[in-house]
Amino acid sequence: MTQPRIKIFCRSFDLKLYRLSKGLYESWGFPCVRLTDQTADGYFYTMMKDKDCDIAINVDEDCFITNKEAVLSLVDYVVQNNIANAGCPDGGEWAPRSGNPLVTNPFFNVLNLNLLRVHCSREQVRAFDYHEHMEEMVSLYPKENIYEGRVPHFEMADKEPYYPFFFTQAYSTKTLYLHCQRHQDGWTTILFNQAGEEMCRHTWLARFYSVPAFIVKHWQPTAGAQQQRINAIIDEAYIAQGLPHPQFGIKDQCAFLGNKIIRWTIKVPQRIAHWPKKIRKRLHH
């Protein structure tokens, strides 16, 4: 079998978080691509357009790899079993969300782009009617992935913009739903591969990473001091891989600040442009 061409993609807003996440996989020998200013579903199509890549390892900037061998074992498993997507159910088992478990939350995925290019074009995603196929899809979902005592929201069809993409993918191709568990910090999700080996830790709430704790307290009282918690997970990941923790100097800090200004300058108009669509959606419901 020809060795697949692998790239690691990271949808990123915060350059510092990206650098901290990338430090855990940049030495693997695969190209690393930072995707900025991408929509919540658009970056999947960006990956599929990359004809120099067969397998995409999609890692959020607030997801920190703890076991390289476990990730590469999953990549081999995906290729050998003709799987299009391996990821964490969005609402299955334990995760601090209540989404549709047929969808995989894109904080971490191994994506077989060769299969996705055939079955998940924009046109195919637009044409797919989830409600028409929901009963069949739910009947095939692995029930052991549903966290005990949690009601799965299979009826939820529009929680996130990327839901249509994953509905189409789940119906048209093979999905491997991975198991996860809660970290002792109460927020972080620990994700396991097909063999039950820990791969990574997703911290969630990265939007609060650079926000002062007193502001977070008033914005989302239950969130707490996120930077301290996320930094603790980062430390654990570097220790788990036996890697030195990156040290950032004044030049790096200036780059982080400058990049943040640029990202906000682009993001704010993007958000405003989507307000009419969100208003229509709420009125419709």
pTM metric for this prediction: 0.91
Q: Domain limits of the chain?
A: 6-246
Residue 65 bridge partners (DSSP): 200
Band of pLDDT at residue 281, cut at 50, 70 and 90: low
Q: Exposed, middle or buried: residue 119 (CB in 10 Å: 0-12, 13-18, 19+)?
A: middle
Q: pLDDT digit string (tens) for 68-127?
A: 999 999 999 999 999 999 999 997 677 777 889 999 999 999 999 999 999 999 999 999
pLDDT of 283 reads 64
Domain 6-246 part of CATH 3.90.550:
yes
DSSP assigned state of 25: T
pLDDT of 252 reads 93
Torsion of CA 275, 277, 283, 285, to 10 degrees: -120
Band of pLDDT at residue 284, cut at 50, 70 and 90: low
DSSP assigned state of 178: P
Q: Among the residues of the chain, which ranges form H helices?
A: 15-22, 42-49, 68-80, 113-119, 122-127, 130-140, 163-172, 213-219, 226-241, 250-284
- Under 8 Å CB-to-CB from 107, ≥6 apart: which residues? 59, 60, 62, 63, 88, 189, 202, 204
Q: Mean pLDDT lowest for which of 25-29, 221-225, 255-259?
A: 221-225
Q: pLDDT digit string (tens) for 233-264?
A: 999 999 999 999 999 999 999 998 998 888 87
User: Quick check: 61 and 76 in contact, CB under 8 A?
Assistant: no
